[in-house]
């Protein structure tokens, strides 16, 4: 990863993290100068709750640590999302680095739980844009992807009461890397019903609670891994945390990617 970043001109590389931030934090600690090579750091992780968006974050059957209902924001504990909880110190290191924070876009559960693989979406991914949507699926790749979505659909229905379809998380962090490019998917950085007027590009100071152990957090004794975001004054640098995105356009791009993968697989089999 270090070699790849060093090979990119300053301010051009985009680093996408869809798990714990351990390796990113270790890299930036060992070679802090590499932060200058980044044009952006997009990460999937964390959860804010508190009405940051209207996305469902907790279901009535969610009893990981004995807490249920709207007061819960995390998916692994009441307060924490998994990717942040497994290494909260690494996440804290990223967000406390002013250079990195100004280049960071966070995709929390508050955003990813808006992007649901509904039945209509699953049919699109299974059959593509072709009119005939009978049969098992257009390609083996599509069948495999949709089978995975059906598996997660049951999990999210049982645990979070999200019955319209499972949310898709990690690809949104990839989509966020397209912000500002000709292929951009529209992300909203201000919400008329939730943000402070006048309309502006919101930026946040983000901190992570690191007090406590994983075991204490899982027992509900500590808020380890909880993400706290405070908006900074308009115009100041900070972390980008979008409140919504163009979901229909996102799925259109996903379908285009699968179509290209189908074509590549077909070419390899000839």
> What is the C-alpha radius of gyration for the chain, rounded to an integer number of angstroms?
19
Peptide bond before residue 198 is cis, with ω within 30 degrees of 0? yes
Task: Tell me if residue 37 is catalytic.
Answer: no
For 139-143, the CB contacts below 8 A with 24+ separation are 139/262, 139/265, 141/258, 141/261, 141/262, 141/265, 142/258, 142/262
Catalytic residue among 64, 67, 169, 200: 169
Residues 183-197: b if buried by 16+ CB within 10 A, e if exposed: eebebbbbeeeebee
Do 54 and 64 contact (CB within 8 A), yes or no?
Answer: no
Give me the active site residues, please.
169
């Amino acid at each position: 990863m270090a070699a790849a970043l060093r090979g990119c001109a300053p301010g051009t590389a985009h680093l996408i993290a869809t798990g714990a931030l351990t390796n990113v934090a270790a890299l930036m600690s060992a070679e802090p100068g590499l932060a200058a090579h980044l044009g952006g750091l997009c990460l999937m992780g964390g959860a804010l709750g508190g009405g940051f968006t209207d996305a469902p974050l907790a279901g009535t059957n969610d009893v990981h640590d004995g807490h249920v209902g709207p007061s819960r924001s995390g998916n692994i504990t009441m307060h924490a999302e998994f990717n942040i909880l497994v290494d909260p110190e690494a996440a804290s290191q990223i967000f406390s680095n002013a250079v990195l924070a100004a280049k960071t876009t966070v995709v929390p559960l508050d955003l990813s739980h808006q992007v649901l693989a509904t039945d209509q979406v699953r049919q699109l991914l299974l059959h593509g844009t072709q009119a005939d949507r009978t049969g098992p699926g257009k390609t083996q790749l599509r069948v495999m992807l949709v089978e995975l979505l059906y598996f997660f659909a049951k999990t999210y229905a049982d645990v979070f009461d999200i019955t319209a379809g499972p949310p898709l998380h990690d690809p949104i962090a990839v989509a966020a890397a397209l912000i500002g490019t000709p292929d951009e998917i529209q992300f909203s950085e201000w919400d008329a019903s939730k943000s402070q007027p006048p309309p502006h590009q919101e930026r946040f100071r983000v901190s992570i609670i690191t007090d406590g152990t994983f075991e204490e957090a899982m027992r509900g004794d500590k808020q380890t891994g909880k993400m706290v975001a405070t908006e900074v004054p308009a115009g100041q640098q900070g972390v980008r945390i979008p409140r919504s995105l163009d979901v229909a356009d996102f799925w259109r791009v996903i379908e285009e990617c699968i179509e290209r993968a189908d074509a590549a697989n077909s070419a390899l089999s000839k």
